[in-house]
């Protein structure tokens, strides 16, 4: 009974066999077999290399992170702005203001040739006048020399006297005649550094909200005036050019993961592979010959995530930027190069201003590789497809050869005679 059932299954055999007695082997078949084997080996090798290759898939999702901070890594050189004048301020839409940022910031004095002034490294970006204000002895009350006195009634520093003069509407053109200015030695100190430039570098932490970063005259030099020499009278007659031309060596928004050694290595490798290692502002150089000139940068920051094959997740940021320059000598009005009249709603200040916005999008770059099942399936398809096509060619050639022999065309048959 069982033998009868198994015997009936023979009718379902899709792989019919022939005996050795009825098999016919030809030179043409052997040649096609070698070609098919070479094709299978080549295609299978290519498929294996493709299976081992790492691909990067990019997707876009909504950024759901909350309460994060960004690290801004910057390195900027101002060849014609003395370090005592330069201040770094940060403010954002939440109302947080950081003035004269000094933590993790280094400023270096540069001579007229752009070389570092010996022993000029300073981790304190806060200008010296502001620091003098903090250490004045209690009980001291300096004269305002006829200027409009502040609420305290005292002008304890050269800056207080200058502000009193400005509030009175007087010209503050001779600081050497003011006791506070003479005691602080500002005239000599500023004349000594008048022809210098400044390099500022380091990292600052900012909230992940809309904000701006200012590199401009420090608060001790700021008034409602737009003229740089009115801001800093010591520079008016020193014979040197002063403007905010600058070179941006590096300006990047970074995530906390980039300060983890292992994650940082993985992040750098993926950035180099994807062409994201260089930031849009890196190497930018902007020049002006005017002291009353404002540079503005509008940046759109996009959160970015890298996912490696070994499971590492590295969070970082990219940004795009547009650039705008404004000549403050024109005041609140001006003209475009095309001759169109424009009106500025806000008064500007000489310096470089970086205004950044945070995009709600998260870009995810994930490393991936073909599955082993896909490799096996592709290999089987290659082997089966090549053998099938080769078998068809062999059948056609064999049938043609036999037909020619029967019709008397032995020329072809002699070149592929039966073995």
Rg, C-alpha atoms of the chain: 39
Least confident of 24-38, 83-97, 174-188: 174-188
- Tell me what the mean pLDDT of segment 36-46 comes to: 91
**Tens digits of residue pLDDT in 275-299:** 888 999 999 999 888 878 889 999 9
DSSP assigned state of 189: H
% of residues, the chain, pLDDT over 70: 74
C-alpha of 82 from chain center: 28
- 3-class SS of residue 46: helix
Q: Which two tokens stand for residue 91?
A: 């403010």
Cα distance between residue 157 and residue 162, in whole Å: 9
Tens digits of per-residue pLDDT, 52-78? 888 888 999 999 888 888 999 999 999
- What pLDDT, on the 0 to 100 scale, is given for residue 114? 81
d(CA 317, CA 362): 9
Q: Per DSSP, what are the bridge partners of residue 148?
A: none
H helices of 236-354, where? 261-274
Residue 50 has a pLDDT of 87
Q: Are 292 and 227 in contact (CB under 8 A)?
A: yes
Euclidean distance between CA atoms 114 and 417, whole angstroms: 87
pLDDT reading at 124 higher than 50: no
Q: What is the DSSP letter of 418?
A: B
The total of other beta-carbon atoms located within 10 Å of residue 113's CB is: 7
Q: In whole angstroms, what is the distance from residue 197 CA to residue 26 CA?
A: 87
State the average pLDDT for the chain.
79
End-to-end CA distance of the chain: 45
What span, in angstroms and rounded, lies between the C-alpha atoms of 411 and 373? 49
141, 156 contact by CB (below 8 A)? yes
Per-residue pLDDT at 343 exceeds 70: no
Mean pLDDT of 332-348: 60
Q: Smallest Cα–Cα separation from 87: which of 351, 327, 288?
A: 351
140-195 pLDDT, tens digit each: 788 888 888 888 888 888 778 877 876 776 666 667 778 888 777 766 776 777 78
Position 326 scores a pLDDT of 84
**41: pLDDT strictly greater than 90:** yes
Between 82-91, 135-144, 227-236, the lowest mean confidence (pLDDT) is in 227-236
pLDDT higher than threshold 90 for residue 266: no
* Cα 201 to Cα 198: distance, rounded to the nearest angstrom: 10
């Amino acid at each position: 009974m069982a033998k009868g059932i198994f015997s009936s299954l023979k009718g379902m055999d899709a792989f019919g066999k022939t005996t050795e007695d009825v098999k016919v082997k030809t030179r043409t078949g052997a040649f096609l077999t070698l070609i098919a084997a070479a094709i299978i080996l080549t295609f299978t090798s290519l498929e294996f290399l493709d299976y081992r290759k790492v691909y990067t898939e990019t997707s876009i999702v909504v950024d759901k992170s909350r309460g994060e901070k960004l690290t801004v890594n910057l390195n900027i050189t101002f060849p014609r702005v003395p370090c005592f004048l330069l201040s770094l301020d940060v403010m954002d839409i939440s109302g947080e203001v950081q003035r004269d940022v000094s933590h993790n910031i280094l400023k270096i004095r540069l001579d007229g040739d752009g070389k570092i002034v010996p022993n000029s490294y300073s981790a304190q970006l806060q200008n010296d006048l502001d620091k003098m204000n903090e250490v004045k002895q209690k009980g001291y009350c300096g004269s305002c020399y006829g200027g409009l006195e502040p609420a305290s009634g005292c002008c304890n520093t050269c800056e207080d006297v200058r502000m009193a003069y400005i509030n009175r509407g007087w010209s503050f053109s001779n600081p050497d005649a003011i006791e506070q200015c003479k005691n602080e030695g500002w005239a000599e100190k500023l004349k000594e550094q008048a022809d210098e430039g400044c390099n500022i570098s380091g990292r600052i932490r900012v909230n992940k909200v809309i904000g701006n970063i200012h590199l401009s005259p420090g608060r001790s030099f700021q008034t409602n005036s737009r003229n740089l020499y009115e801001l800093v009278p010591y520079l008016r007659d020193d014979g040197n050019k002063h403007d905010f031309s600058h070179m941006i060596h590096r300006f990047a928004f970074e995530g906390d993961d980039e300060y983890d050694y292992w994650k940082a290595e993985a992040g750098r490798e993926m950035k180099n592979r994807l062409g994201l290692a260089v930031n849009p502002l890196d190497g930018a150089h902007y020049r002006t010959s005017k002291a009353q000139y404002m540079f503005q940068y509008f940046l759109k920051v996009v959160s970015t995530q890298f996912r490696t094959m070994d499971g590492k997740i590295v969070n970082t940021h990219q940004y795009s930027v547009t650039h705008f320059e404004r000549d403050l000598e024109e005041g609140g009005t001006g003209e475009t190069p095309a001759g169109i009249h424009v009106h500025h709603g806000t008064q500007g200040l000489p310096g470089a201003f970086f205004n950044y916005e945070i995009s709600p999008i998260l870009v995810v770059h994930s490393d991936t590789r073909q599955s082993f099942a896909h490799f096996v399936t592709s290999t089987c398809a290659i082997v089966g497809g090549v053998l099938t096509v080769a078998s068809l060619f062999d059948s056609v050639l064999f049938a043609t050869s036999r037909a020619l022999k029967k019709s008397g065309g032995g020329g072809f048959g002699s070149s592929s005679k039966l073995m």
